[in-house]
Amino acid sequence: MGRHALDLTGKRFGSWTVLGRSYADYTSTSVDFRNGMIVSHSTPRWHCRCDCGAEDIVIGSNLKSGRSTCCYNCRNKKISEAQHRYQRKAHIAIEMFEEEIADV
């Protein structure tokens, strides 16, 4: 404890580029079971810029673990692109199936 938080400034995590440490750390509390005391943990948050230009504050552990790799909009776009790909595949499968039936 007491160690200085790792500086992520300038590092890339997926589409994120870390611009600098955020003004406020993310604070969470939990109960220490050994003595019943409430302890608070502060997690560094980072000001990041996505490749699309959007900026957001991201919790450092989410960057390092890969849970956050791009902004909200880009993530939604990726999800809908994946859905389109899946739907297109499903559509092709149905067409092939219908052609097979037509051949019989």
Size of site (CB under 5 A) for Zn ion: 6
For the chain, helix, strand, coil in percent to 5 are 35, 30, 35
Q: Which amino acid is at 95?
A: E
Query: Binding residue for Zn ion (CB under 5 A) from 22, 47, 49, 54?
Result: 54
Binding mask 59-88 for Zn ion (x = CB under 5 A): -----------xx--x--------------
Among residues 15 and 45, whose Cβ is nearest to Zn ion?
15
How buried is residue 19: exposed, middle or buried, by Cβ count under 10 Å (0-12/13-18/19+)?
middle
Task: Note the residues at the interface with Zn ion (CB under 5 A).
Answer: 50, 52, 54, 70-71, 74
